[in-house]
Structure 1
Amino acid sequence: MLLAKWLEEKQLVPHLLIALLDGLADAFLVAGLIGAAIDFWTQRDKDARDDARVRRLLADSAPAFTDAVVRGFASSPEDLRRVATPALLDDLATNALGLRLSDAAFAREIYADLRDTVVRAPERWHDVDVRIRLSSIDERNTGGVPRFAVTVTWEYSVVPSSPVQRFACTSDRDEFHELVSDIPSTSTWFMTPRPGFDASSRDAFELLQFSVDGEEKKIRRSARKTGQTYSVGIGDDAVRDSRMVRIRHVYRTITPRSGHRLYVAIAQPTKGLSLTMDYTDTDIAHMSVTDLVSAAQRPHISRLPEQTAAREISLDVPGWLLPKAEVTFVWTLASEVSSADAGSASAARAA
C-alpha cells in the first residue's frame, strides 16, 4: 500500500498498475488477519487439548505417584523430616495408627495420649537401676511414730534436657503442684506435716551424692519453713551437645513403719528398669511388689534364697515403661502377724 502511494505521487507507473498493487496489498492484509485469527483460535484449542491430556495423565498416574512418595518416606525418614512439620507428622501417625487399629477415633485418642506423655517428654532414660534400702530407726521421735530410714540410689543413662538438676521436699501442697510441673529438671517429694516429719529438715530428706559419668558434683542446699531444695550442676556441654551421660544420685528420706507401702514413680519414658528393695535391717515379716505395670514384656520378680541372711526382692522390666508408671512395695510387720501367719508368710517368701 505504501509502495503504491509512492509510485502514484511520483507518477512513475501507470494508474492501472498502481491500482493492482493496492488491491494485492489489501488482499495480503486481510489474509494475514484471517491467518492470525485462525492461529489464535487453533492454538487455544490446542492448549486446551494439551491441558486435558496432562490432567488425564496425572489422574492415571496419581496412584503410582502416591505409592512412590509413601514408599519413599517409609524407607527414608530423612526426606520426610525435610518437608514435614510436627503437626503433619502427628496427622500421619494418627492416620497410620487408625488404619492399623481400624478405628480412627480410638487411634486419635491413643496417639494424643502418646504424644503428650512420650513425644513431648524432654528426656528418655535407659538402663535404669534403682536400689532401695529400708532400715529401722531405733529411737522414736517426739510424736512416738516409728519410722523406717529409706536410702534410694538411682542410676541411669540420659541425654539431659537441663544443665541443673533439683531435688525438692515440701509440705506445702501449692508449692508441690508448682514444682511437680517442672519435671524432669526438678524431682519433688511431698511430706505430710506431722510430728517427726519436717520437710525442711535433713533428717526427713537429704541428697547425699550426685555424679555424672563417675564425676562427683557439688550439691547446694537451700531451706525454708515448708521445705528444702538441693541443686546440682550437670554441665552445659552435655545439654548443648545432646550427649548421653550416666547419672547416679543417692538420697535419704523417712517413711512411717505403719504406712505399709512405698511407691516408686517413673517420671520419664524408661527402657530397662531394674528395681531392688533390701529390707534386711527391718522387722518386716513379708514384702510384696506389684507387677501390674504396663509393659510389652511381663516384669520378672525375684527374691534372695531363704537360706541367706539378707532379704531382698527385685523387679526387672526389660522393655519400655511410660511416664507415670508406678511400682508399689507393700509390707507386713512381724508384730502384725500371728505365729501361724508367720509360718505362712515364710512359706510364701520361699515360694
Structure 2
Amino acid sequence: MSTTNPDHYRQALTDPAAKVWLFSDNAPLDAQAFTLLDYSVNGTPQPITKTDHPDGRAYQATPSSNAANSGQDYLVSYSYSTLIEPRGHAMWIDIDKPTNGVSVELTHTGTGIERITPLDFLTTTPRIHRSERGSAAPISISADGWIQPKSGVVFIWTLTSELNELPQT
C-alpha cells in the first residue's frame, strides 16, 4: 500500500501482512509512484488486485495456494518498483519479517545522481555490485541465507549538481 495520508499509513502498519509506503502529500511524487510488479507463492504467480484511492494505491495478492494453511514452509516472493525524490539523498529498504534471501536493485538512470553508496544492515554477508562512478548501471545488493527482522539496506547518494558546487582544491 502507498498513501499520502498519515492516518491510513499508521492504520496499515498494524496489519502484519501489509507492506506500507508513506509519501509526502506536498512532494513532487505521489503515492501513485509505487507499483507491485509480481507476487508468487512457491514459485507460482498469484493474481494481484490494484485499487486506487484519492490518497494512494493499494495492492492485494491473495494466494490461491493453501500453502499458508498447510503447516508446511512456503516461499513468498515479490518485487515492486517505486519512484523516489533524488533530492532526498537516501532510501531505506526495511526487512521486517524473517527472510530467506534478498535481492535489492537501485536504478538511477536520468536522475542526476553521480555517486551512490550502498550500506547493508543484514545478518549475513551480502554481495554488492557497484557500477562505475557516473554510470547509470543499477547498483544491487543480494544475500543468501536467513535475514532477521530489523535488518535492511540503505542507498545514499550525491547529485552531480552538488559535486559541481564544491570548491576545487
* Bin of the TM-score, shorter chain as denominator length: 0.7 to 0.9
**Corresponding position: 1:273 with 2:102:** yes
Q: State the partner residue of 2:23.
A: 191
Q: State the partner residue of 1:228.
A: 57
Q: C-alpha separation between the residues in 2 aligned to 1:271 and 1:216?
A: 18
**Corresponding position: 1:326 with 2:152:** yes
Q: Aligned ranges for residues 163-178 of structure 1 at < 5 Å? A: 168-178=1-11
Q: State the partner residue of 1:303.
A: 130
Q: State the partner residue of 1:335.
A: 161
Largest Rg, 1 or 2: 1
Give, in angstroms, the shift of residue 193 of structure 1: 0.5
| Higher strand fraction (1 or 2) | 2
Please state whether the residue corresponding to 1:323 is helix, strand or coil. Answer: coil
**Corresponding position: 1:261 with 2:106:** no
Letter aligned with residue 301 of structure 1: I
Q: State the partner residue of 1:121.
A: none
Q: How many residues align?
A: 167
Q: C-alpha separation between the residues in 2 aligned to 1:311 and 1:272?
A: 23
Question: Whose RCO is larger (CA < 8 A, sep 6+)?
Answer: 2
- Give the TM-score normalised by the residue count of structure 1: 0.41
Q: C-alpha separation between the residues in 1 aligned to 2:161 and 2:119?
A: 23
Aligned in 2, Cα 1:313/1:243: closer, same or farther, shift over 3 Å? same
Residues 221-274 of structure 1: CA deviation (Å, up to 9, x unaligned): 223322221111212511221344443333332211111111110011224334
Q: C-alpha separation between the residues in 1 aligned to 2:58 and 2:6?
A: 15
Give, in angstroms, the shift of residue 182 of structure 1: 1.1
Q: Which runs of 5+ in 1 are unaligned?
A: 1-167, 342-351
Q: C-alpha separation between the residues in 2 aligned to 1:194 and 1:175?
A: 17
Q: CA RMSD in A?
A: 3.0
- Give the TM-score normalised by the residue count of structure 2: 0.78
Q: State the partner residue of 1:15.
A: none
Q: C-alpha separation between the residues in 2 aligned to 1:243 and 1:261?
A: 38
Residues 116-172 of structure 1: CA deviation (Å, up to 9, x unaligned): xxxxxxxxxxxxxxxxxxxxxxxxxxxxxxxxxxxxxxxxxxxxxxxxxxxx11222
Letter aligned with residue 5 of structure 2: D
Letter aligned with residue 278 of structure 1: T
| Higher helix fraction (1 or 2) | 1
Aligned in 2, Cα 1:213/1:281: closer, same or farther, shift over 3 Å? farther
Q: Aligned ranges for residues 87-166 of structure 1 at < 5 Å? A: none
Please state whether the residue corresponding to 1:279 is helix, strand or coil. Answer: coil
Q: State the partner residue of 2:117.
A: 288
Q: Aligned ranges for residues 231-242 of structure 1 at < 5 Å? A: 231-242=60-71
Indicate if the aligned counterparts of 2:86 and 2:113 stay in contact, CA closer than 8 A.
Answer: no
Q: C-alpha separation between the residues in 2 aligned to 1:316 and 1:208?
A: 19
Q: C-alpha separation between the residues in 2 aligned to 1:182 and 1:195?
A: 26
Indicate if the aligned counterparts of 2:46 and 2:64 stay in contact, CA closer than 8 A.
Answer: no
Q: C-alpha separation between the residues in 2 aligned to 1:216 and 1:286?
A: 35
Letter aligned with residue 248 of structure 1: S
Q: Which runs of 5+ in 2 are unaligned?
A: none
Q: C-alpha separation between the residues in 1 aligned to 2:48 and 2:122?
A: 35
Give, in angstroms, the shift of residue 294 of structure 1: 5.5
Please state whether the residue corresponding to 2:19 is helix, strand or coil. Answer: strand
Aligned in 2, Cα 1:339/1:197: closer, same or farther, shift over 3 Å? closer
